[in-house]
Amino acid sequence: MTFLEHPKNRREGIFVAYLLENWVIALKLVSRSHQNYLAFVADQLQKEYNTPGAMSLLQQFYSNLVFWITPIDLSSTAALVRSSYSVKTKGRSPRDPADMLRSTLLMTKLGMSVDNWVRVLRTLPVYAILSGFEPGDTPGVGTFYDFFRRLWRARTPHKTGRTKRRLKKPRKKGKKNEKQEPKNPKVTEKLVSRVLREGKIYYTPKEHDLLQQLFQTMFVLPSATKGFLGDTRCFRVIGDGSPALTGARSFGKFLCDCRKSGNWKCSCKRQFSDPDADWGWDSYREKYFYGRTLYMFTAADSPYNLPVYPRLFRASQHDAVSWICGYRELCYWYSDWKVGEAILDSAHDALPIYTMLEQDDVSSIIDLNLRRSGHLVYHEMNIDSDGVPVCPIGRKMICWGKCSGRQRTKWRCPAKVGKWECPHPCSPSAYGRTFYTSTANNPRLFPRIRRDSREWKERYALRTGVERSIKRQKIDYKLEASRGRSSRHWNIRVYMIAMCQHADAWLEEVKKQKQQLSVDTWLKVLTAA
């Protein structure tokens, strides 16, 4: 069947029908090329805005949006989401998933709800055209929610059942500016031991895998090609978590009749609108929150603080545990990249994490958590917070360089080097006492880059990039304003905002290079091509 023989097909090139032997029609999902999309946009914009006044209006109010969405090549969408569509279809053919994804990105960029966006698509032709739809033939609310369902690799929007017992809000508060300790103090050691024992990465399929495939293929890899993520052969990654409050209540809906007898605090099971949410400690605001933890992996060398792997974990999960799980998943998704350095805050200051990174030949830039470690001692020698040995009289020893071939650092007596007399000499030698430290023996106290060096401080300063990336999600794009109540909603929203972050960087770079044309000139160039 061709397009002309089947008048119900919406447009040529989107769906190609084949007639099987059992007389069941199967539709092969095919997306138009990016060049065809640009030609469609140019043709439709010239039809709708064909007067000088209309073109001036387009330039004044919509030029940034035009040059924001049109460079994004989404032609691979159909191939990636094909498994989410049924081969044997009955009734109306589905819309091009690339157009649906593009329209969802525009909706996220403009900060609209689905209902308002559908209304705007039918009112303003420019939004429909930029999405890839013909004016007057735009999708409805149900079509968008059906598309969201296809992006989620699970039958239900939740990871767990809705019926369970209520989680009580913890009473014990954490310390100021300090993450709450994990319930199992040895959980990081057990996880790292399992990782080192397995060696090879065994990845369990997740519900958000399709979203990550779309994000990685059409946004992260193009950004890496443009040089926005640094050197992927020695990739420097930053990781950090941040609270994400759910729109659901923590009380749940009563399913029992205990209230009739006056018992309002029964332990019976209840029904929750967001069963995957739980209680976590917000160390910045010093209070408990109900929701999830957004753990973001960001490129340290990115001038635009671009994310490479956003991950949602349980709110009660410690950041150190989230790093171990997320880091292995990151290595799985970007197996062609070589992670060369990890920059983390003091919540990740655990010896098993250093050991795991050293096993992968990754340099660790992690701040020490002095509250947890207390007094630092190594081979009966006191160590200060910068990883420098301190002699018995409280003076820092002098670094005397690295021993070639032995991968260790030599430290000398400050009195002998400075040529002053020590009141309590600890060695009768004229050379003075020497002390050796090695990264292999204790990567936590003695990382590859000395903590007291200027280089370490400059590299650790890059850690704020992940905070700016999370700020883009939570404040600029108002992540929590949607008041989502399911894991599907939160994952889709986080990934859509992450895609928008990359698109923002691409447009910003074009403006910085002063290569942006006027809309009229751009349309003429497309038409001539």
Task: Tell me the domain boundaries of the chain.
Answer: 15-150, 187-250+269-368+461-511, 375-450
pLDDT band per the 50, 70, 90 thresholds, residue 148: very high
Strand order across the 376-378 sheet = 376-378, 381-383, 389-390
Least confident span in 44-53, 81-90, 137-146, 177-186? 177-186
Alpha carbon distance 25, 87 (integer Å): 9
Segment 32-50, tens digit of pLDDT? 899 999 999 999 999 999 9
pLDDT band per the 50, 70, 90 thresholds, residue 3: very low
Least confident span in 2-11, 85-94, 125-134, 237-246? 2-11
Q: How much is the pLDDT for 95?
A: 92
Contacts 24+ apart (CB under 8 A), 386-390: 386/450, 386/451, 386/452, 387/437, 387/445, 387/446, 387/447, 387/450, 387/451, 387/452, 388/450, 388/451, 388/452, 389/435, 389/437
Q: How much is the pLDDT for 349?
A: 93
Over 70: is that where the pLDDT of 156 sits? yes
Cα 431 to Cα 395, 396, 414, distances in angstroms: 17, 17, 11
Q: Which amino acid is at 420?
A: W
Q: What radius of gyration, in Å, describes the C-alpha atoms of the chain?
A: 28
Instruction: Give the pair of three-digit tokens for residue 185.
Output: 């103090």
* Residue 202 neighbours by CB under 8 Å, 6+ apart: none
pLDDT band per the 50, 70, 90 thresholds, residue 237: very high
Alpha carbon distance 441, 403 (integer Å): 15
Q: How much is the pLDDT for 11?
A: 42
Strongest mean pLDDT among 31-40, 85-94, 210-219, 402-411: 210-219
pLDDT band per the 50, 70, 90 thresholds, residue 60: very high
Q: How much is the pLDDT for 372?
A: 65
Q: How much is the pLDDT for 91?
A: 73
Q: Average pLDDT for residues 13-26, to the nearest whole number?
A: 40
pLDDT band per the 50, 70, 90 thresholds, residue 133: very high
Q: What is the CATH number of domain 187-250+269-368+461-511?
A: 3.30.420.10
Q: How much is the pLDDT for 529?
A: 72
Q: Which amino acid is at 66?
A: V
Segment 157-203, tens digit of pLDDT? 999 999 999 888 888 887 777 777 777 878 999 999 999 998 888 89
Give the three-class secondary structure for 163. strand
CB atoms within 10 A of CB 468: 12
Q: Average pLDDT for residues 124-138, to the nearest whole number?
A: 96
Over 80: is that where the pLDDT of 24 sits? no
Beta bridge partners of 279: 290
DSSP codes of every residue in 204-268: PP-TTHHHHHHHIIIIIHHHHHHTTT--GGGEEEEEEEEEEE-SS-SS-EE-SSGGGGT-SS---
pLDDT band per the 50, 70, 90 thresholds, residue 386: confident
Q: How much is the pLDDT for 19?
A: 37
Least confident span in 343-347, 428-432, 482-486? 428-432
Q: How much is the pLDDT for 22?
A: 40
Q: Specify whether the CB–CB gap between 339 and 231 falls below 8 A.
A: no
Over 90: is that where the pLDDT of 6 sits? no
pLDDT band per the 50, 70, 90 thresholds, residue 29: low
pLDDT band per the 50, 70, 90 thresholds, residue 89: low
411-433 core/surface letters (b: 16 or more CB in 10 A; e: else): bbbbbbeeeeebeebeeeeeebb
pTM, two decimals, is: 0.90
How much is the mean pLDDT over the chain? 89
Cα 358 to Cα 54, 100, 339, 495, distances in angstroms: 61, 44, 11, 30
